[in-house]
Chain A
């Protein structure tokens, strides 16, 4: 067990090293004033890492705030969007996936899978632009722009505006929170379109695999109803393998979220990076590499460890390895 943890952390360190080198190269390249030939690159790298660890990531040209602060605020907004989209997709995707898994190759399965395929095939940014046209074509009053209405002046505490707006409920009651939620609806619909299709596909495959196994056949002969079989036997075995698959989707979701944010002008990491690059502020790029890939790295390890706790099969694999 400890051995496993150690191995995971080892992997983390090596990947982090590679990432920090990439970030360093970007910052070196953007900082043209400094001549590289004079100073040893290795010393420059140590210098850079020292600054990063002390939280000195450089100052933004746009608003004279630290890149770390800007980046974290922007990324928390992106993360919020991703989490909301993930939640919606899980709520919609898993039941649909279960249905099509159970009735594999039935009409229901074909219908669900065709819709899911459309979801995979549609480019997210195109869908986002189409959704912006909604209020024009139909009289639909969902907000299409920004994170939250500029009317609400919410003090930033956690960076997650859903939580911040709840904390500011003494100022605006729940109006700010509701406003933030409504601003999240359209972007998260776009994002969850892709995500739901993916979850349906994964769940369907996993369920249909389990449905083929002998113990399900045994349960069938015992005379259990489909519902009983699904809740007692199928779900417990079918759902855990989906989690590591979802982990792989994490970076895809984040990058799609960034494009969607740009279309909806939501102040997240997509808009932050775009405006920084437009302003020639390339240090923001290296900050983004550290923040975003750092997050993906850490979360994938956390998921691995979680998986180890919840799923006996992974644990078994671990011991067998040993």
Chain B
């Protein structure tokens, strides 16, 4: 009887229930999917980056979120040699690694840790090079591998990077997510215990938060790193609570079960923006949604056919039907915020009549059914490949071209792409660093395989030499000129039909402030603040 009484009172009391995340020193972030590992060196997906780069680790340099200049992080400064072949970095002193229940550091951060972390990617003989291998075919970042000849320790707090050839992307690479600094001492301890694979799942870094626990329900706890070298954080506990369903994520934001949610569904944006207690953050990213034409397969070997197909598809309609306000239309592969973006590039016109007459002129076989490959699994930045594919199909049918959409799982897709037996492929790619080369090279280089991004099987001498020239060019104006030219070529040849840049969206409660999203390295909670909800 007493229990009944307690229960009924509790039911009544729930009316004055305080939302749980109103606790000021805990912040709950609800991403869409689980981190694959806790090391951004081996997991390049957005969820893993959000869960690791800024929270757990530091890099030697980072990019200032407002000025976009390189600022010191674990380095205090750097010098470039006169021959542009070596960079000397001076390291920060008295930096502590995380102390957790699985590791207690006995020394501060020093040059050995930098060499250990970066050599893990570069040196095939490194004891950790192959640890946790197979988390994706694009294991470590290739440009970085081809960039550095050697990393030399001068003393405990000075190191020197020796480059193979003058290359100005070193700083970009060092500010990238994969250049995080791990603890060498921890790695040695793991080897001594015979469990090296723990390095990526029980992480130790120097970042503002340390890893506490992670469970199979997708909940990860981070604790304030009390001996952090930088500014103290104001929220002590960060909790990642993975919620796959976007309606539920939105509901959880409203009930206070989440403070910040990632990727609200495009269809919810309007309603969210009307709520007084919810704010939206949108950040342009380097990702691009594109439709690749297989330039090795007839009829797409012909430039005019490719142009005609892109004229037949109504880009604005695609954007309105699928993305609402969460994406920007594009005509080139580069993000409009990029320094190399050619402002003179023209939009792709929607002219089905013109497309039809070109096809007829070229003697296109209208009985042929073209294939549109799409991945079954939607990527984080693209909520509905199938919807886009169907809209494209409908557009093509209007000019009398029949098409067949093939939804394939990852393994089937890879097999099919490698075989080259496809006409077109609908995909999304994401730049890893803030350098146009990281977008152009995978998509256009002859050395890049179809799995690395070259899904139009493109290879031309002109494009290849332009790519190589620009990478070693240190004159900024010449680089910009070259990239402008490259974009003109892409525009003219219509190797890809770029559809949209999808914005990175997050929705958060009005009492949260100070977090920011870096389009390349993920979300950063170091300066996040939380005030009382009511």
Binding site for B on A (CB under 8 A): 62-63, 84, 87-88, 91, 132-136, 139-146, 149-151, 153, 178-179, 181-182, 185, 265, 267, 271, 275
Contacts and interface: CB of A to CB of B under 8 A. Distances in A.
Interface stretch (B95-103, B252-260, B401-409): B252-260
Interface string B227-264: 00000000001010101000110111011110000000
B13 interface: yes
A179 B20 contact: yes
B51 to A, nearest CB: 14
Given A91-B4, A151-B20, A179-B20, A145 B216 contact: no
Given A63-B216, A133-B251, A149-B21, A142 B4 contact: no
Given A84-B7, A150-B221, A267-B217, A143 B28 contact: no
Interface residues of B, number: 34
A139 B274 CA distance: 13
Interface string B411-427: 00000000000000000
Nearest to A179: B20
B248 A132 contact: yes
Given A84-B7, A144-B257, 16 more contacts: A87-B3, A87-B4, A133-B247, A135-B254, A135-B255, A136-B247, A141-B17, A142-B255, A143-B255, A144-B252, A145-B251, A149-B21, A150-B241, A151-B26, A151-B28, A185-B14
A150 B214 CA distance: 11
Contacts of B26: 151
Nearest to B8: A91
A144 B14 contact: no
Interface in B1-54: 3-4, 7-8, 10-11, 13-14, 17, 19-21, 23, 26, 28
A143 B20 contact: yes
A63 B257 CA distance: 25
Given A135-B254, A150-B28, A181 B14 contact: yes
Contacts of B257: 143-146, 149
Contacts of B217: 146, 267, 271
Nearest to B7: A87
A179 B10 CA distance: 10
Nearest to B254: A135
Contacts of B239: 150-151
A132 B239 CA distance: 22
A275 B215 CA distance: 13
Nearest to B13: A178
B20 A142 contact: no
B219 interface: yes
Nearest to B249: A145
B3 A182 contact: no
B21 A151 contact: yes
Contacts of B7: 84, 87-88, 91
